[in-house]
Amino acid sequence: MNASPPHSRASVPVAPLVERLRLCAQLWTDHNAATLARLGRTVINDGGYFARIDSPEASTTTATLEKFARFLGDGANWPDGLVPEAVRDFVHVVGVCPDPAMPSPDTSPANIAASGDHDRAVPEPASGRAPAAVALPPSAAGAFVSGTFRSDEKGRG
């Protein structure tokens, strides 16, 4: 019987989270022609964070790591919209769910075409016509604001 060895990363040391953050931060600063201080100010309003974190007695919180993971994992924060693989790995290890719209490095037309039903037509209603628009009564106009209803007239709350 030829059993394959279990998958192990023992031969590849896993970098501590702060080291992974430092690598991802450096990638971001290189891609954005920015400083670590700017990244710290942007994400956690602390331009000195990366200078302090180098101290042997320094520590950080999971909340801070999550804030950096959310920011760095968002394609909108990268000039080309693509999040580097090392950053995606960091986001995963921290436990933050990446933005579902985060572009994948494999967005080539061939890959998109191979994905299947990306261009499937949305079925029309049984009548074959688009549904008619619903008209609001004049008294309701402007009553819906930011997800809540409000009354412009006293006594009609």
- Residue 64 confidence class, pLDDT cut points 50, 70, 90: very high
How do residues 22-45 score in pLDDT, each as one tens digit?
A: 999 999 999 999 999 999 999 999
What local confidence, expressed as pLDDT, does residue 58 receive? 83
33 Rama class: left (phi>0) / alpha (psi -120 to 50) / beta: left
Global pTM value: 0.56
| Closest CA relative to residue 93, chosen from 73, 77, 74 | 73
Query: What is the rounded (10 degree) CA torsion for 10, 16, 21, 27?
Result: -40
How do residues 103-133 score in pLDDT, each as one tens digit?
A: 555 555 555 555 554 554 444 555 555 545 4
Report the range of poorest mean pLDDT among 3-7, 14-18, 42-46, 56-60: 3-7
CA dist., res. 79 & res. 127, Å (int): 46
Query: Does the CA dihedral 44-18-50-37 come out positive or negative?
Result: negative
Which residues, at least 6 apart from 47, have a Cβ–Cβ distance to it below 8 Å? 37, 38, 40, 41
